[in-house]
């Protein structure tokens, strides 16, 4: 009887361990879906926003701050061309980010955006962004990567400043022997 009890306990512990592993494995996709739906953590949509004709609210100005940073393994120079812009909600705005590959090999990068405060993410719409595709730079080359956006007129009145930050990741190894990412 004692052996049966031990066997049952081991089976229960094994099932519990498998359930915990499965839950941990599903946390990242669940978190991504939650952030996409709610705008939590300032996560922005990775798709192009189709703008519609809208009047510009010239009675209001919103300050947009831009931050660029590299992941630990990314060696590129990466910075916003404009550190800060003042925009009117509804106005289509253009800016760019500078990148340079100082290494002696071709690299592929992916930029991941974040908006702060997080509740502003639902009102910050990118119509063109270098973050929509991987960016390939040959050794020693540089590029200005465009960003075009609209701040929605429905942005809550108490939000006066939005910070858009990008983290640049090296994704070269994800493309194996292919030296160029397909856009």
Same domain assignment for residues 22 and 59: no
Question: What phi, psi does 6 have (nearest 5°)?
Answer: -65, -45
Contacts of 45 (CB under 8 A, 6+ apart): 36, 126
Same domain assignment for residues 52 and 11: no
Would you call 135 exposed, middle or buried from its count of C-beta atoms within 10 A (0-12, 13-18, 19+)? Answer: buried
Residue 114 lies in a domain: yes
How much of the chain exceeds pLDDT 90, in percent?
59
Same domain assignment for residues 2 and 17: yes
- Give the tens place of pLDDT for each residue, 39-67: 555 455 454 545 555 688 899 999 999 99
How many domains does the chain divide into? 2
Q: Reduce the DSSP state of residue 154 to 3 states and report it.
A: coil
Same domain assignment for residues 66 and 156: yes
Q: What is the mean pLDDT of residues 79-105?
A: 96
> What's the domain range around 165?
43-175
Q: What is the pLDDT of the chain when averaged over all its residues?
A: 84
Residue 181 lies in a domain: no
Same domain assignment for residues 129 and 159: yes
β pairing state of 161-170 and 107-116: antiparallel
Specify the range with the lowest mean pLDDT, choosing from 24-38, 53-67, 69-83, 166-180.
24-38
Q: Reduce the DSSP state of residue 3 to 3 states and report it.
A: helix
Residue 180 lies in a domain: no
Residue 71 lies in a domain: yes
CATH number at residue 75: 2.60.370.10
In the chain, the N- to C-terminal Cα span, in Å, equals: 64
Q: Does this model's pTM top 0.75?
A: no
Total residue count of the chain as it appears in this document: 183
């Amino acid at each position: 009887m004692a052996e049966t009890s031990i066997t049952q306990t081991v089976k229960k512990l094994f099932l519990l361990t498998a359930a915990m592993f499965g839950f941990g494995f599903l946390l990242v996709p669940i978190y991504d879906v939650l952030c996409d739906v709610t705008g939590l953590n300032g996560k922005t949509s990775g798709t192009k926003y189709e703008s519609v004709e809208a009047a510009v609210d010239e009675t209001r100005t919103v300050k947009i701050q831009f931050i660029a940073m590299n992941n630990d393994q990314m060696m590129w120079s990466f910075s916003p061309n404009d550190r800060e812009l003042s925009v009117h909600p509804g106005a289509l705005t253009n800016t760019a980010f500078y990148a340079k590959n100082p290494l002696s090999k071709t690299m592929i990068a992916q930029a991941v955006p974040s908006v702060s405060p997080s509740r502003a993410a639902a009102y910050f719409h990118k119509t063109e962004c270098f973050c929509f595709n991987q960016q390939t730079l040959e050794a020693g080359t540089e590029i200005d990567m465009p960003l075009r956006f609209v701040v929605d007129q429905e942005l809550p009145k108490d939000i006066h400043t939005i910070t858009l930050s990008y983290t640049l990741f090296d994704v070269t190894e994800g493309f194996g022997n292919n030296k160029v990412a397909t856009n």
